[in-house]
Every structure is written in structure tokens, then in C-alpha cells.
Copies of this chain bind each other. A is one copy, B any other.
Amino acid sequence: MNGPVDGNAREAFAGAELPRIEAALERAVGRLGEPLGAAALYALRAGGKRVRPLLTVASFQAAGGSGDAVYPVAAAVELVHTYSLLHDDLPCMDDDLLRRGLPTTHRVYGERVAMAAGAALQQLAFLSLAEAAAIDPELADRLPAMVRRLAAAAGSEGMVGGQLLDLLAEGSTPDPAGLEAIHRAKTAALLSAACALGGEAAGAGPQVVDALANFGTHVGLAFQIVDDLLDVTGDPTRTGKAAGADAARQKATYPAVHGIERTREQADMAADVARRALGPLAGRDGVDVLLETLEFVVDRIH
């Protein structure tokens, strides 16, 4: 176990890196004509704390990377994430009216424009990945693997498949293995890709990339377990949604399957696996930011 962290490294890092990540995102979305551009930008701006692209940049540094090619890679991950939020909120999916306290994209721009903007966000993600290879020609060799990783994380064994499993599981009680499968796909796959792509953009070997992927997977599991727990126990002003919303929807959650105490233990176990995954990278630039991000995720329940 690491000692207590104060989050200073993470905050300083975010302060320095967020403007570059935002610039890469706005450059990507700037390619869209209207009305898709406005809708995509709205979805992107409602998107939140940029946890994923910050993890990509920190992983890139931890893997010894330097230069600007990481920013379109980080943007690609956030574009896929933004697509997933937009898609998940649609009337035929979760049918959500609010996202972080703001009307969801389809309520502002209409369902047709929101659907098309979602499709465009996915395409921009792959476009953004290809742009990275234009900035750093050495990336061209790694681009096939990076495209495969992003597509797999977003696809049927990843985020989109996980969202669907989650919806289809509403009203039933999955077994613990089924629940972990949903969370691995819905949340952990993209966080794993966010970290691994940072390593690949840095040109790291498979050992470092795998360590980062494993770290990201367990940050994702911890994040999802904590999220489930906060839905039961949490303060709505911190979670941004009404307490008990998941239960009301009969969502498959860790507390529903494991109970609250065992769920807390599972979050701590996932965090512990994540911490140990970074062992081989101890002391490198960016690793403190990765660890503080993990603590930030888990501390919400302590």
C-alpha cells in the first residue's frame, strides 16, 4: 500500500495538460459541419473531468513518451467516451433527461441530430488516432495495433456491448461473474485502452503496455464499484444523480449482488491490483499521477 496522497501531482498535471487535451478535442470536433458540430461540442462540454485522456497522457509519460502525438490519441479515447454517454442517454437506451445537471444532447438538438452526432464522434475518434501518426511518423507502425485496441474497447466485447448487457440485465439479478463481465466491458475496457494507448503512443514494449492496460482495467473496476456504492449511500450533490436511481431502475449493481460491506472490500481489492500493476514502472514520470487518480476514484467512498 502507498501512503496517503494529497492529489497535488494530479492537480498540477491536470492544470498543465487539460488545455492541450481540450485543444485536441476541439480540433477534432471542429471538422464537423452544422448541426452536428454544435451537438457534438455540447455533448463534449457536458462530459466532465476528462479522466480518460488525462490517464492517456500520464501513461504516455510513464512509458517514457515525449512530444505532442499523444494529444490526438487522448482525444480519441474521450471522443469514444463522449459518444457512449450520448448514445446511453438516448430515448431508446436509458432515456435520460439530464447529464451532469444539463439537458441531455437529444433534448437540446433532437434525437436524429444526437444520433448522427454520436456516429460522427465515433468516426472522429479513429480520425484522431490517424492524426497522431501524421504528427509522429514513427507511430504509423503502431497504428494498426492502436486502431484494433480502440475498436475492441469500444465494441461489442467492450463499451457498447457492456452498455447493452447492462440494459438487458435490468430487472434481473446477475451472478457475481456476470456482473463483473458487464462492468469490465462497460467501464473497464475503455479505461484500460486509455492507459495502454498512452503506452503504445510512447513506443513502449509489450510489458509496459500490458502493465498500463492492467492498471486501467482495475481502475475501471474500482470506479464502477465505487459508483454503484455511491448510488446507494452517496450524496446526490456529489454523484450528480438521485440516490437510489440504480435501484429504482433495477440495475445490476455490486451492492445488490454483494451487499454494501463486501462491495467496499471489492473496491479496495480492485484498487490494490491496480497499484501492484504499476510496480514495474515505479518512480517514472506520470506514475504518481496515475496512482493519485486511482486514489481519487477510491477515496470517494472513504
CB pair B90–A115 under 8 Å, yes or no, is: yes
CB pair A156–B37 under 8 Å, yes or no, is: yes
CB pair A116–B164 under 8 Å, yes or no, is: yes
Q: A144 is contacted by which of B35, B111, B140 (Cβ under 8 Å)?
A: B140
Nearest chain B CB to A187 CB, angstrom units: 16
Residue A87, interface by CB 8 Å:
yes
Q: What residues of chain B lie closer than 8 Å to A155, measured between beta carbons?
A: 31-32, 119-120, 123-124, 127
Residue A283, interface by CB 8 Å:
no
Q: What residues of chain B lie closer than 8 Å to A147, measured between beta carbons?
A: 126-127, 129-130, 143, 147
A157→B116 CA distance, assembly (Å)? 11
CB pair B87–A115 under 8 Å, yes or no, is: yes
Contact with B along A239-279 (1 / 0, CB 8 A): 00000000000000000000000000000000000000000
Nearest chain B CB to A144 CB, angstrom units: 4
CB pair A116–B36 under 8 Å, yes or no, is: no
Which of chain A's residues 129-176 have a Cβ closer than 8 Å to chain B? 129-131, 133-134, 140-141, 143-145, 147-148, 150-152, 154-157, 160-161, 163-164, 167-168
Listed residue (A36, A113, A123, A129) with the most chain B CB atoms within 10 angstroms of its CB: A123
Q: What residues of chain B lie closer than 8 Å to A93, measured between beta carbons?
A: 112, 115
**A116-B151 CB under 8 A given contacts A91-B92, A140-B141:** no
CB pair A133–B123 under 8 Å, yes or no, is: no
A130→B155 CA distance, assembly (Å)? 15
Residue A217, interface by CB 8 Å:
no
Residue A33, interface by CB 8 Å:
yes
Nearest chain B CB to A275 CB, angstrom units: 31
Residue A122, interface by CB 8 Å:
yes
Nearest chain B CB to A213 CB, angstrom units: 17
CB pair A112–B33 under 8 Å, yes or no, is: no
Nearest chain B CB to A142 CB, angstrom units: 9
CB pair B130–A148 under 8 Å, yes or no, is: yes
Q: What residues of chain B lie closer than 8 Å to A36, measured between beta carbons?
A: 156, 160-161, 164
CB pair A111–B92 under 8 Å, yes or no, is: yes
Q: What residues of chain B lie closer than 8 Å to A90, measured between beta carbons?
A: 92, 115
| Additional A-B contact list (4), CB under 8 Å, known A32-B161, A119-B122, A123-B151 | A91-B92, A112-B168, A116-B163, A126-B151
| 4 nearest A-B pairs in the assembled complex, by CB-CB distance | A130-B147, A127-B151, A133-B144, A123-B155
Listed A/B pairs (12) with beta-carbon separation below 8 Å: A33-B156, A35-B164, A36-B161, A92-B111, A120-B155, A120-B160, A123-B152, A126-B150, A127-B147, A129-B147, A133-B143, A134-B144
